[in-house]
A and B are shown apart, each in its own frame.
Chain A
């Protein structure tokens, strides 16, 4: 096939609520098969232009759109365009690799055999290392990025749009992804438009450079090499990272803006140790999951036997490939997470001013004690927002600590100025761009004068000038006596550090000492049925019959009018249990809550029945037990993804709501982790709940609100990504969605449903006798 011709005519887009357009009169003609690099300062509308080219701009945003985008002479939509967004995790819609890639072909209604041939060729073209049954939750960042690319290529688009495809990756993974992109595009001949901040690695692969300016206009357009050579100065002035131009120097920042409030260990030699981690290991247990069939049972070893120190007036860089444990180690050193083994302790000057006898391990300190001494910026900086306005956000820890207000206000204003946020000081932090939010999080972490500053990827998404400001704050903090920890891939920041800790697969890599064989990165095992044991009729039944069986029992329960009926019905259920559920002990984790519920129903019905009859209580309890006990046990056998397939095919429910619900269910674990992260942020900012019930209630309310905001933003990004893969194609084209996997109704399903009908009918029959 050949690439698509793209014609953009006078495209202008002004989102509602903004005075100035984000895209202002853009006209471009992109020839079939050409490869275009889209660059420009942060906030210049690059991602917006990509979404406009994909025809999904108005699917989640509102505003005035004028002009036209034509792809091969037609309005941009449908399977001719593939869009890959910045964070590949936003594109995940399924629990298994194969089904995830199949999403686009399913949406466009391809027959099943074609779906799977598309999936195979797409995975092969990105060099995907695992088979189609691999769990999407067990992939590294680079693998997820390649999976998202395969999801785009499965549509065989004539136009491929990529938004910063390697910005979240370490150099090695980035090279692999770059290779996958270039070979896949070369093989298909598709037209490529790509947004990228770091030009150096791409210029050899691309043939045209289009630069947007702050006003959302095309400021430069031409062949890559000549344009870069001709307009170096103007590009550098706009903050573009032009290859082979000297790296920017850090900004000189007044030390007073970054100095610790508490006495620092500076002055003594050797520099005082503030925090020491003594052979710490972290083993992560899987989060509570709704995806019973894909639940990983293995714990993941994130760190193993690591020692590290943070010293006053020293900057230490934690480096290593993605997934090596950098974020985990920094979270330990910031006291927001505790190790599974070993300990992380405060030392020397850091303990000054702590009343009583504080716990040794810093993760047990009170929120206030921790906040007074630590500042932390997490990798996902937008999670760090705690205030209603930018200025309010930066001030909040100082206020909570009761620091002198005039001085802290002056310090906050100084930091906002340095980090280029003064004009935004009254704005809602949620409205900031990604790069701005990261600088805001840095300001909030240092404004109250902590002695230890821990930063996870502080320079991502910064252009040349904002990079200088971020580096300036880091250097000034170090020089003022703060102990700084940086987890980063950025070679320019690594060069600023005094010391390095290199991690690989959770261990410190000692140069010169050959380390033992490292554990396999994929430590997540899949759940398997224990072999040899009869697993019951339920394990041979599809999700639909299990669900219907549970519901039928609910409907039978109200016909239980006397104890005799209740006891007979329960007796039959107990007798059938081994046949339906298999041999072996029941899952007490699932059974205990519902037994508790049965007991409480018994008690309350006894208490409030006319005449307080014991039999009323017993009857009420048994009536509830009749449907909740089997219902809970059957529900634990249902795989939500399979249920979606069956609801869409077997029951012919409308496909889009079913698909949306299944995709959302896959986000459950991620949202749970987000909740934990929000709680960590609030603790290190001094906003932890404290001990009073009121404080705890307020904290839960704040966390819930934060979780909902993130949920809505994630839903918007998912919607763009799913629409770009044809989620709503059936609505516009009238072609029905197809399903990659069949959903047969088997004889065992009929048997299961028949059994349930008999059991549910028992009370009706017995009450007539």
Chain B
């Protein structure tokens, strides 16, 4: 504690774009998670678990009846379950954040007694890996709305192609499988991607993310 220091964030920020605001990254080394990173990701996952529980119990049955005559439309809701992965990645900004957050959220569903059994864990892994792939492609340096939307899309693609095509909709015709995938991708981009990005920005503005890079971005933009 001899001289001023800032242990939380990387002093090196990503290449400044034409836009005024710089992206703040997590402190290096990226793989060394702080305790608060782990606890916050896990707690966010549990909070989403609380919301999903309400969604599964009260809202989803109504919506799935409404879309019963056109099942792919039901997949337009897929993005709701992908939000933890995107939000985890955008808040923590470390490799594994999306996977960890989504997997803990899946565990909450499992222990509460959901309708898919242990398959939710498999879904959670695939959904998390989809977002991880996109974050890695951008070398863990970009956390804008486009990256978030792409994360949502890949999350949906992993979930549908590697799991749902094999299990829930295995007997759909090829064309309907494609429509089903398209609906899932749109939902991933809009609900999980754009929605998750807006949610993180709104949370950062309340000061609740001050210990994380998005909170630091808000403060720097206020100083500027």
Contacts and interface: CB of A to CB of B under 8 A. Distances in A.
A600 B64 contact: yes
A16 B44 CA distance: 24
Nearest to B91: A712
Of the listed residues B44, B72, B170, the one surrounded by the most CB atoms of chain A closer than 10 A to its CB is B170
A59 B39 CA distance: 12
B113 A589 contact: yes
A81 interface: no
B100 interface: yes
B115 A593 contact: yes
A237 interface: no
A524 interface: no
A668 B108 contact: yes
Nearest to B116: A628
A722 B35 contact: yes
A712 B44 contact: yes
Contact of A609 (B68, B119, B173): B173
Contacts of A600: 64, 68
Contacts of A594: 114-117
A62 B9 contact: yes
Interface size range of chain A in the complex? 35 or more
B201 to A, nearest CB: 12
Interface in B36-93: 36, 38-47, 49-51, 53-54, 56, 61, 64, 68-69, 71-72, 74
Interface stretch (A138-146, A434-442, A633-641): A633-641
A538 B51 CA distance: 30
A716 B56 CA distance: 28
Contacts of B41: 660
B5 A65 contact: yes
Nearest to B219: A17
Interface in B103-159: 104, 107-108, 110-119, 121-122
A62 B39 contact: no
Contact of A664 (B45, B170, B209): B45
Contacts of B170: 558, 605, 620, 623
Contact of B100 (A63, A291, A551, A657): A657
Interface footprint category on B: 35 or more
Given A609-B172, A624-B168, A431 B46 contact: no
B47 A707 contact: yes
Contacts of A632: 113-117
Contacts of B17: none
B34 interface: yes
A37 to B, nearest CB: 25
Contacts of A616: 171
Interface string A712-748: 1111101100110001100100000000000000000
Interface string A654-697: 00110011011101100110010000000000000000000000
Interface string B190-224: 00000000010011011111110001100100100
Given A62-B6, A68-B1, A608-B71, A629 B117 contact: yes
A20 interface: no
A630 B118 CA distance: 9
Nearest to B216: A62
B22 to A, nearest CB: 15
Contacts of A66: 1, 3-4
A320 interface: no
A733 to B, nearest CB: 14
A16 B51 contact: no
A58 B176 CA distance: 53
A331 to B, nearest CB: 21
Nearest to A70: B1
B161 interface: no
A288 B112 contact: yes
Contacts of A636: 113
Interface of B: 1-9, 32-36, 38-47, 49-51, 53-54, 56, 61, 64, 68-69, 71-72, 74, 100, 104, 107-108, 110-119, 121-122, 166-173, 176, 199, 202-203, 205-211, 215-216, 219, 222
Given A624-B167, A665-B46, A708-B199, 8 more contacts: A68-B2, A292-B111, A629-B117, A664-B43, A675-B54, A712-B40, A715-B36, A715-B40
25 contacts: A68-B1, A288-B112, A428-B206, A428-B207, A547-B121, A554-B117, A554-B122, A558-B167, A596-B61, A604-B68, A605-B171, A608-B172, A619-B171, A624-B167, A624-B168, A627-B118, A628-B119, A632-B113, A635-B111, A638-B111, A668-B50, A711-B47, A716-B40, A719-B39, A722-B39
Interface of A: 16-17, 58-69, 75, 288-292, 428, 430-431, 547, 550-551, 553-554, 557-558, 587, 589-590, 593-594, 596-597, 600-601, 603-610, 613, 616-617, 619-620, 623-624, 627-632, 634-636, 638, 640, 656-657, 660-661, 663-665, 667-668, 671-672, 675, 700, 704-705, 707-709, 711-716, 718-719, 722-723, 727-728, 731
